[in-house]
Amino acid sequence: MQSFKILKFYDSPSHHVIEEISKLFSTTPYYIQSSSNIFLIKFEVEELLNNEKEIKYQSNKFSFLIMTNYKFEALIKFQAKYNIQEIIDATFQFQENGNEVSEELTDDWYQLLIDQQFTKLNFKLKEYKCIIQDIKFLINDDNVTIDQYGDFYINDVGNCYIPKLAQFLLEGSNNE
């Protein structure tokens, strides 16, 4: 499984800029272009930590995708548009201490998410001061995970729906 961060550049970057930024995220740089200024950049945690200062310095060129409960809900609501065949799992965590929620609550909230009962789910999440930590789903027989930091974990980097989904989560739409 490969890990990608979604970056939205403030201007349309040149190929050279993307190459240089990609090198800060991975020892084997690779990226997928979603639109003229949205890219999925392959990352390795160790490389991110090693280049943290330089990434911060370069961050005046781009912003990262940060997921919210509402973006996760939009993912579920528009799943057919992005060929999501099945939502496999979801993880919830407490905002204050970052601990995962009990299995019983997770099962209940997961069902609310699948049933698209977002009003009831949001009420419960606010009541318990929790957030959606990540969602695992299936696109074209590829297990995909997206977490609260906007990180994508995918097997098939050629999956044509992933760039469209990235653009949707950043901009609320895509060029279709």
pLDDT (0 to 100) of residue 141: 81
Q: Residue 175: CB partners within 8 Å, gap ≥ 6?
A: 35, 167
What average pLDDT does the structure give for the chain? 92
Any idea which of 31-35, 37-41, 94-98, 157-161 has the lowest mean pLDDT?
Answer: 157-161
36, 94: one domain: no
pLDDT (0 to 100) of residue 159: 80
80, 99: one domain: yes
8, 30: one domain: yes
pLDDT at 175 over 60: no
Query: 151: pLDDT confidence band, cut at 50, 70 and 90?
Result: very high
Domain that holds residue 76: 69-142
Domain containing 22 — which CATH number?
A: 3.30.70
75, 135: one domain: yes
- How many domains is the chain built from? 2
pLDDT at 23 over 90: yes
29, 45: one domain: yes
26, 62: one domain: yes
95 in a structural domain: yes
61, 92: one domain: no
Query: 153: pLDDT confidence band, cut at 50, 70 and 90?
Result: very high
Q: What is the dihedral of CA 136, 28, 167, 169, to 10 degrees?
A: 40
Query: 130: pLDDT confidence band, cut at 50, 70 and 90?
Result: very high
97, 134: one domain: yes
164 in a structural domain: yes
Query: 30: pLDDT confidence band, cut at 50, 70 and 90?
Result: very high
Q: For residue 84, which amino acid is it?
A: I
61, 75: one domain: no
24, 57: one domain: yes
Q: Residue 93: CB partners within 8 Å, gap ≥ 6?
A: 99, 100, 101, 130, 131, 133
Nearest-angstrom CA–CA distance, 11 and 39? 12
Of 42, 47, 37, nearest in space to 17 by CA: 37
Look up the pTM and report it. Answer: 0.89
pLDDT (0 to 100) of residue 128: 94
93, 157: one domain: no
43, 95: one domain: no
Query: 69: pLDDT confidence band, cut at 50, 70 and 90?
Result: very high
